[in-house]
Amino acid sequence: MKTIRYELADGIATLTFDEPGSPVNTMCLQWQEDLTAAVQQVLQDQERIRGIVLASAKSTFFAGADLKGTMRLQPEDAPRVFREVEQCKKNFRTLETLGKPVVACLNGSALGGGWEVALIAHHRVAVDNAKIQFGLPEVTLGLIPGASGVTKMTRLLGLMGAQPYILESKLFAPREALELGLVQELVPDAAALRPAALAWIAANPKALQPWDAKDYKIPGGTPSNPKIAGALAVAPAMLKQKTRGLYPAPEAALAAMVEGAQVDFDTALRIESRHLAKLIVSPVAKNMINTFFFNLNAIKSGQSRPKWDGKFKPAKVGILGAGMMGGGIAYAQASRGIATVLKDVSQDKAEAGKAYSAKLTQPRVDKGRLSPHDQAALLARITPTESVQDLQGCDLIIEAVFENRELKARVTKDAEPQLAPGGFFASNTSTLPISGLAQASARPQKFVGIHFFSPVDKMKLVEIIRGKETDDETVARAFDYVQALGKIPIVVNDARGFFTSRVFGTFVMEGAAMLGEGIPAPVIEQAGLQAGMPVGPLAVLDETALSLSVHVLDQTRADYRAQGDTYIATPGELLVERMVKEFDRNGRAAGGGFYEYPKGGKKLLWPELSALFGREGVAWDMQDLKDRLLYRQAVETARCLAEGVLTSVHDANIGSMFGIGFPGWTGGAMQFIYGTGVDKFLHRAEVLAAKYGPGFVVAPQVKDAIRKFEPKY
């Protein structure tokens, strides 16, 4: 055996998981083969065995499935997967029905398949460390816990009690596991695990899983219980409303839970295996595994960070502009222990920016999730001021003032001299090229873009923009700063709109173009939702302000004129310009845009839209509309990759999903192309270009970039 060490001493059979050449243990094919061999050895030795211990030689207990192997699966592999997972479960059942006490020594995290390995045991002992995580995150990767996780968690917690841990992938620490009865004993450190295991084995010579006991009943009742039946009657509809039918895993998990609860244990396991085998070879699972696991880990491990030996730990950071964005950044910093100077043109405005942090934290205080003392400490880290001198000694200063080049230049020149030696300056602009803004800096190599998304307290993504002169050290420091805030950094090169704003613009303007073609506004919004976007394009335009889009358009035209060129606005941009300049519809903050916002009532689409833009006899195809919204963004993302604005697929996928809401089922804008199939995608884009214009044209160099960056597993 290569991944499992088997030892038998003093009547205790110990299976130690230790996958060679890997920092963690996984359910790779070799491990599956080794488990079969280990179980056969246990059967041979069972007369000499009085207890079994499951342990890990890694810093964690077990990481779960071999996801790289999963990415290589094809639809025709489903029957093989079914056989393999059934063999795995047969091994699990052999160990847990042998009549010998089995104890899992949980020295670290056990997630997914790792938690399912832990569930083999009759008794689970864990180190009492709040950083350790247990649970079943499979649904977030487009899968279900198919190695007995659904069946066992349902029988341990009941149909209703298990739902958060299966359908929502809720993770839990050892102490919560103890309260739930999922872990039976906590010890102070890893050294105490084995003694605790041996003591339990000695005290419990005959052990049985709860579901194997004759008097076992599912907690809360089976699906035939009237209370359970009532909840289950509406559960599929609620789930469909949430997933919009785009995410098959939660529906499969619920089906496996309910179907499994109506049959015996072993039949329930087979039902679970069938659902897993179908899901694991599906495109959605591959898309989600690729991005939510591999791409996200690539960023977290610093693959997008330039090589720089140092590590930036921000102690004092200044923010220029105490509006919603500046106030949000101040909160993000203060909640992570960073001293923050929040400057605005007046003390009152700066104080109002600080008050935003109080507003964000008060609900947590009211619910007992944050103590008044910790709230006071957080707020004490924010120093509101109107004086530029208070920025003296900041390691980093971020300007978050209005999107006006002259204003940004002025505040840069005023504040930059206050930086500590070795400090750097950043702009929070969402559209203005960083290289142009850096002209106001005395040290353009120490000037970088750090683009937060609104609202800062909720949005995890931060886009770091490298200007033409920005050096590696500054980009690396910005990357470290973003990670210090607990957020996800992507790194892009300078260009108009960078990556996220540029691609976001194609989504909303394609929606506006549809309106101009006479397609009814409710149909456009529904197309966005059915494609998997969080909200429709017209609603998003209202939230971000139509007036801001027109301001960006005016700035773009001016910049083109300064270069001796003429900017040709898209049909969508021209329609938004009409909305603002002809009809004074500026967006939600200004009272209304594409929508009306009655006081005390629900928002509704502006009734005048059909009169202004509607056309009789206009036909539409819903699939075309959905494809236009997704393909337009994917094509623009690929263009960013071809132009060098983006330098990696993982930044593209994570940025598109966490920054602009590209649907999770696709795995992101580039994975949407690869998941569709490059040839199939390019053909469909060609059809859309012929119907709907140059926004869908994929130039030869863009095709080359798509093929060059295609991931291999």
Q: For 268-308, what is each residue's pLDDT tens digit?
A: 999 999 999 999 999 999 999 999 999 999 999 999 999 99
Q: Are residues 535 and 461 in the same domain?
A: no
Q: Do 614 and 635 share a structural domain?
A: yes
- Tens of pLDDT, residue by residue over 519-553, are 999 999 999 999 999 999 999 999 989 998 998 89
* pLDDT > 70 fraction of the chain, expressed in percent and rounded: 100
Q: What is the pLDDT of residue 431?
A: 81
Q: Is the pLDDT assigned to residue 654 strictly greater than 90?
A: yes
**Any domain includes 303:** no
Does the pLDDT at position 608 exceed 90? yes
Domain boundary among the residues 233, 259, 281 is at 281
530 falls within a domain: yes
pLDDT of residue 509: 97
Q: Whole domain around residue 391: which residue ranges?
A: 316-495
pLDDT at 227 over 90: no
Helices 248-260 and 265-280, packing angle to 10 deg:
170
Residue 63 within a domain: yes
Distance separating alpha carbons of residues 208 and 213, to the nearest angstrom: 7
Q: Within a domain: residue 294?
A: no
Question: Is the residue at 290 inside a domain?
Answer: no
Q: Which of 479, 495, 511 is the last residue of a domain?
A: 495
At CA 524, angle to CA 519 and CA 525, rounded to 5?
150
The predicted pLDDT at position 403 comes to: 83
Identify the active-site residue in 122, 275, 451, 650: 451
Q: Which residues pair with 8 in a beta bridge?
A: 13
Per-position DSSP letters for 154-211, written without gaps between them: HHHH-TTTTHHHHTS---B-HHHHHHHTS--EEESSGGGHHHHHHHHHHH-SS---GG
Identify residue 343 by its one-letter amino acid code. K
Section 158-174 average pLDDT: 96
Residues 142 and 270 in one domain: yes
- Indicate whether 263 and 344 sit together in one domain: no
Together in a domain, 467 and 509: no
451 is catalytic: yes
The pTM assigned to this predicted structure is: 0.92
Same domain as 251, residue 369: no
Verify that 507 and 631 share a domain, yes or no: yes
> How many other CB atoms are there within 10 angstroms of residue 35's CB atom?
24
Q: Which CATH number does the domain housing residue 187 bear? A: 3.90.226.10
**Mean of the per-residue pLDDT values of the chain:** 96
Pick the range with the lowest mean pLDDT from 92-96, 219-223, 677-681: 219-223
Number of domains observed in the structure of the chain: 3
Mean pLDDT value across residues 55-81: 94
Residue 239 located in a structural domain: yes
Same domain, 190 and 335: no
Please say which residue of 452, 480, 495 terminates a domain.
Answer: 495
287 part of a folded domain? no
Over residues 679-693, the mean pLDDT reads 97
Which whole number is the average pLDDT over 653-668?
96
- 330 and 390, same domain (yes or no): yes
Residue 237 has pLDDT above 90, yes or no: no
Cα 452 from Cα 489, distance rounded (Å): 10
Do 23 and 164 lie in one domain? The reply is yes
- The alpha carbon dihedral of 392, 395, 398, 399 has a sign of positive
Angle, CA of 341, 343 and 348, to the nearest 5°: 115
Separation of alpha carbons 91 and 150, rounded Å: 17
The CATH number of the domain where 434 resides is what?
Answer: 3.40.50.720
pLDDT value of residue 233: 83
Q: How confident is the model at residue 353 (pLDDT cuts 50, 70, 90)?
A: very high
Same domain for 227 and 83: yes
Q: Output the CA torsion 669→675→678→680 (10° steps).
A: -110
| Per-residue confidence (pLDDT) for residue 496, from 0 to 100 | 85
